[in-house]
Amino acid sequence: MGKKIIVGSVLLMMLLLVCGCVPKTFVRSAPGWKVIELRNELKEDYSKAWQTTVDSIARNWDIEIMDKDSGYLRTAWTYGISGGRYNRYRGRLTVKYPDGQHSDKLELKTDAQWAENVYYGLWIDGYDTSFNRDVYGTLSGRLGRTVPNK
């Protein structure tokens, strides 16, 4: 009888670890790029657009890679996004100006990873719908057009 209780308890703990931990906003799929069309004054001044981008991102994230000439910026991993467990869930964002200094848009991609096994460093790739929406909203508000071009 004692062995059955121990085995049952172990199985229940394993089931809880596997099933109940992944945030509902996590999607096991490659993230896509979202486009933000720049406001007119930023389209005409790449230096201002780049600086606004860097300032907006640096407020909330640590920048890991940044190259103004190519229009590429990527943040370091931020742990605990979207309320996920700090050591098991992380996200980062990548932005690029696809035409470099002649871009009228900014492309944005968010990545998320869930640690299937923290001790062995087994991460599952995907994206987080909440994190993606929040980042897109923040950058759209600071860089994007809010009224249609006439």
pLDDT given at position 71: 96
pLDDT given at position 139: 95
pLDDT given at position 47: 95
Q: Report whether 54 contacts 74 (CB < 8 A).
A: no
Q: How far, in Å, are 23, 30, 43, 89, 114 from residue 79 at the CA level?
A: 13, 19, 33, 6, 10
Looking at the DSSP bridge assignments, the partners of residue 128 are 26
DSSP class of residue 76 equals: P
Greater model confidence, 8 or 121? 121
pLDDT tens for 8-43 read 544 444 544 444 478 899 999 999 999 999 999 999
The continuous run of DSSP H or E covering 24 comes out as none
Question: Which pTM was predicted?
Answer: 0.78
Could you state, in order of their start, the residue ranges of all structural domains in the chain? 24-143
Mean pLDDT of 40-48: 94
In the CATH scheme, what is the code of domain 24-143? 3.30.530.50
pLDDT given at position 100: 86
